[in-house]
Amino acid sequence: MSDFKNKKALITGGASGIGLLMGKKALQNGAGELIIWDINQQLMVKEINNLVADGYKVSGQKVDVSDGQSVNEAATTLIHEGKVPDILILNAGIVSGKYFHEHLNGEIEKTIGVNVLGCMLVTRAFLTEMISRKSGHIVTIASAAGMLSNPKMAVYAASKWAALGWSESLRLEMELLKTGIHVTTVTPSYIDTGMFDGVRTNFLFPTQNPEKAVSKIIQGIRKNKIFVRMPFMVYSIPFFKGILPTKWFDLIVGKVLGVYKSMNNFKGRT
């Protein structure tokens, strides 16, 4: 079990959405300190003040997780202050939601930078310290899109496939080296936070309630689960992809369930 009591939890992209909800839930589960990293300093300061007013110990740093210098400077400050996180939740993520050929200059690089490099750079900044003390828990908020391709999600899906593969490899390394560090990979379907406004879902893969999704994630961390997948049908994706011919899989998932049309009316967060 990974106990939150008196632990330091750092969450990237923690000033809004499920990042903020996970931070609140971590504090409610006894975390001694919450550290928020976010690019939106104004919003971050507002949410920190709200949490501090509720009696919690919370701090934050403006960090661009896609920028190595930004990450290293912020991490160095925390390390010098003796604030190496016990629980590191890699939540920061962005999506553009358009056909691949429609991406503008810089959009591909930014998506990969935040969704992939952000996980790697932030983890690398703290991992040596975590290995030295032989404890810690790293949580990668990936996506079901890392298991299932989808039109208008080429870059986002690629970033989540990369995050998923990296997170699983990291877990195997930590186990092989007997570091005492746990790694949990989260692969949810769409969560109703505004990030995917306009998407169309179905009864097998419904949009997830943010509070319920966060409760499952926190429970998964506490139980040291390797994967936290939601809804339950996400667990079946590797099985059906493995046994069905690709065209059959496309027919069932794409046409019958309409997954391949889910992004047709995508608006995203304004």
Q: Is residue 46 part of a domain?
A: yes
pLDDT for the residue 270: 62
Sheet with 136-141: list strands edge to edge: 58-62, 33-38, 8-12, 87-90, 136-141, 181-188, 227-230
Q: Is residue 270 part of a domain?
A: no
- Tell me if 53 sits within 8 A of 102, measured CB to CB: no
> What angle, 0 to 180 degrees and rounded to 10, lies between the N-to-C axes of helices 17-28 and 41-53?
20
Q: Is residue 3 part of a domain?
A: no
pLDDT for the residue 199: 87
Task: Name the residue range of residue 133's domain.
Answer: 8-261
Q: How confident is the model at residue 63 (pLDDT cuts 50, 70, 90)?
A: very high
pLDDT for the residue 264: 85
Task: Enumerate residues 6+ apart whose C-beta is below 8 A from 243.
Answer: none
pLDDT for the residue 197: 87
Q: How confident is the model at residue 1 (pLDDT cuts 50, 70, 90)?
A: low
Q: Is residue 2 part of a domain?
A: no
Q: Is residue 24 part of a domain?
A: yes
Q: Is residue 267 part of a domain?
A: no
Report the distance separating Cα 53 and Cα 47, nearest Å. Answer: 10
Please tell me the total count of domains within the chain: 1
pLDDT for the residue 224: 97
Q: Which two tokens stand for residue 80?
A: 């010098």
pLDDT for the residue 200: 86
Cis peptide before 151 (omega within 30 of 0): no
Q: Is 62 exposed, middle or buried (0-12, 13-18, 19+ CB in 10 A)?
A: middle
pLDDT in tens, 37-53: 999 999 999 999 999 99
pLDDT for the residue 34: 98
Q: Is residue 214 part of a domain?
A: yes
Mean pLDDT of the chain: 95
- Tell me if 56 sits within 8 A of 27, measured CB to CB: yes
pLDDT in tens, 94-123: 998 999 999 999 999 999 999 999 999 999
Share of the chain above pLDDT 70, in %: 99
pLDDT in tens, 119-147: 999 999 999 999 999 999 999 999 999 99
Report the distance separating Cα 80 and Cα 140, nearest Å. Answer: 25
Give the Å distances, CA to CA, from 98 to 107, 177, 193, 241, 250.
11, 41, 19, 24, 20
Query: What is the pTM for the complete model shown?
Result: 0.95
Report the distance separating Cα 67 and Cα 238, nearest Å. Answer: 33
pLDDT for the residue 89: 98
Q: Is 47 exposed, middle or buried (0-12, 13-18, 19+ CB in 10 A)?
A: buried
Active site residues: 156
pLDDT for the residue 153: 95
3-state secondary structure 162-204: HHHHHHHHHHHHHHHCCCCEEEEEEEECCECCCCCCCCCCCCC
Q: Is residue 266 part of a domain?
A: no
Domain CATH code at residue 68: 3.40.50.720
More confident residue, 193 or 60: 60
pLDDT greater than 90 at residue 73: yes
Report the distance separating Cα 4 and Cα 29, nearest Å. Answer: 6
Nearest to 136 by CA among 84, 177, 90: 84
> What letters, b where the CB count within 10 A reaches 16 and e where it falls short, cover 65-95?
bbbeebbeebbeebeeeebbbbbbbbbbbbb
Strands 136-141 and 181-188, how do they pair? parallel
pLDDT in tens, 150-203: 999 999 999 999 999 999 999 999 999 999 999 999 999 999 988 888 888 888
Report the distance separating Cα 269 and Cα 15, nearest Å. Answer: 14
pLDDT in tens, 218-230: 999 999 999 999 9
